[in-house]
Amino acid sequence: MRLTDLDIIVTAPPPPGWGGRYWIFVKVTTDTGIVGWGEVYAAAVGPKAMEAVIRDVFERHMAEENPENIELMFRRVYSSGFTQRPDPTVIGAFSGLEMACWDILGKERNRPVWALIGGKMNARVRAYTYLYPLEGMKAAEFWMSPEMSAQSAAEAVSRGYTAVKFDPAGPYTIRGGHMPAMSDISRSVAVCKAIREAVGDRADLLFGTHGQFSTAGAIRMGQALEPYSPLWYEEPVPPDDLHSMTAVARAVRIPVAAGERLSTKAEFGAVLRAGAAEILQPALGRAGGIWEMKKIAAMAEVHNAQMAPHLYAGPIEWAANIQLAVSIPNLLMAETIETPFHDRIIKSSIRVEEGYVTAPEAPGLGIEVDEAFLRAHPFTGEGLHLQMQEAPCDYAHGNRFEGGAPAPE
């Protein structure tokens, strides 16, 4: 069996774009006619340039190869151009293609991917959700309202979720870590207080940031949140500054989580060795794929750290996350995004029920992809999947952050 054909589909979800402006899906076909699907997570270049990168990686390192030889193909890509270091763009391209290889291998053997990578450790995967505006809520008001956040959290818990994520802490900017405005700290405290009062001990609070704080600023914010006992403090400082992240982890009594912007075991290993985070959040469409994440999970296990696969993308990366999550002993939970658009793409083949995802039994990634639906919603914009703002933190008039959801274009 050999990898022979590649097709790339860039799909745009409808506004407000939960999961980003677009999703890059890859369809890989073998000489025996088996089709595998994968997804490439956000990259630093636009989708047209990314398509060229994906095609180059496939043709240069994977075409005509046996899909079983994942380790060999990874080493080719990791070493491409005399590099042998993490490159989130090239490794992102490989990550989606690697998912497709596992989808092919599972289908060829008529087994789910988890059965090929260690078996069923977890019959159910605990899911968590981001907080989104409920029907009738105005988005512009929701992101600034502790009361609306609490209502959204209570609604999620009523559907069975036992953990909810939110990030009310102000802007993430191109300027690197900043000191949060006092108004941002006050709003974050108010949101945590309101949500904790709404859900009590029925759910964990997951406090998200996007690496936007200076070390001192992250410590100030984290210590202010401690009375509400969040389960994690996500990426409090820029991800390239492990020394500062370690300082925050030691100063704040909330576990630090990190990883959505990291790539390969080289970067995750450095986080573990530094003691910078106790919860790892790999995005499988960027971090190296399923096999590389199995290695990272094993490394985390040695450090008594847990895994919580990240998702701000489409449902094929989610399917890969679930396959990994089923197979590892140190799973904490996995992020999910429930929208009709996500669900339609995979024809409801994986779903959240009472806050958990049951281990899929269908072969490969466990999903059926509606290819015609993907092609019917092409991305035609110019923006990147996610973008940081150029304006600095506003200490005089306050800040507004729309939860990672791009405003309708």
Task: Report which of 74, 96, 69 is spatially closest to residue 84, judged by C-alpha positions.
Answer: 74
Distance separating alpha carbons of residues 267 and 265, to the nearest angstrom: 6
User: Is residue 383 in a domain?
Assistant: no
Strand partners, 335: 128
Residue 404 pLDDT grade (very low, low, confident, very high; cuts 50, 70, 90): low
User: Is residue 101 in a domain?
Assistant: no
The answer on pLDDT for 402 being more than 80 is no
Query: pLDDT above 70 covers what percent of the chain?
Result: 98
Tokens matching residue 173? 């900017």
The angle at the Cα of 347, spanning 344 to 349, to the nearest 5 degrees, equals 130
Single-letter residue type at 149: S
User: In the predicted model, what is the mean pLDDT of the chain?
Assistant: 95
Q: Are 203 and 152 in contact (CB under 8 A)?
A: no
From residue 273, how far is each of 87, 265, 304 by CA, in Å?
Answer: 20, 12, 12
Distance separating alpha carbons of residues 217 and 171, to the nearest angstrom: 13
* Per-residue pLDDT, 143: 87
Distance separating alpha carbons of residues 211 and 261, to the nearest angstrom: 10
Q: Are 217 and 188 in contact (CB under 8 A)?
A: no
Write out pLDDT tens, residues 250-275.
999 999 999 999 999 999 999 999 99
* Per-residue pLDDT, 409: 46
From residue 146, how far is each of 46, 132, 187, 194, 217 by CA, in Å?
Answer: 35, 12, 8, 6, 21
Q: Is 32 left (phi over 0), alpha (psi -120 to 50) or beta?
A: alpha
Distance separating alpha carbons of residues 352 and 358, to the nearest angstrom: 8
Write out pLDDT tens, residues 165-184.
999 998 888 988 999 999 99
Write out pLDDT tens, residues 143-166.
889 999 999 999 999 999 999 999
- Cα torsion angle, 140, 146, 151, 153, sign: positive
User: Is residue 243 in a domain?
Assistant: yes
- Average pLDDT value for residue range 300-310: 98
Q: Is 163 left (phi over 0), alpha (psi -120 to 50) or beta?
A: beta
From residue 32, how far is each of 3, 99, 252 by CA, in Å?
Answer: 9, 18, 54
- Average pLDDT value for residue range 351-356: 97
Tokens matching residue 229? 């006992």
Q: How many domains does the chain have?
A: 1
* Per-residue pLDDT, 52: 97
User: Is residue 49 in a domain?
Assistant: no
User: Is residue 157 in a domain?
Assistant: yes
User: Is residue 305 in a domain?
Assistant: yes
* Per-residue pLDDT, 191: 98
User: Is residue 235 in a domain?
Assistant: yes
Of 382 and 108, the structure prediction assigns the larger pLDDT to 108
Of 404 and 109, the structure prediction assigns the larger pLDDT to 109
User: Is residue 110 in a domain?
Assistant: no
In this structure, the number of other CB atoms found within 10 A of the CB of residue 48 comes to 10
* Per-residue pLDDT, 172: 85
Write out pLDDT tens, residues 112-147.
999 999 999 999 999 999 999 999 999 888 988 999
Query: pLDDT above 90 covers what percent of the chain?
Result: 90
Which residues are CB-contacts of 148 (< 8 A; sequence separation ≥ 6)? 133, 134, 137, 141, 142
The answer on pLDDT for 307 being more than 60 is yes
Residue 401 pLDDT grade (very low, low, confident, very high; cuts 50, 70, 90): confident
Model pTM?
Answer: 0.96
* Per-residue pLDDT, 376: 98
Residue 67 pLDDT grade (very low, low, confident, very high; cuts 50, 70, 90): very high
Domain that holds residue 320: 115-363
CATH of the domain at 338: 3.20.20.120
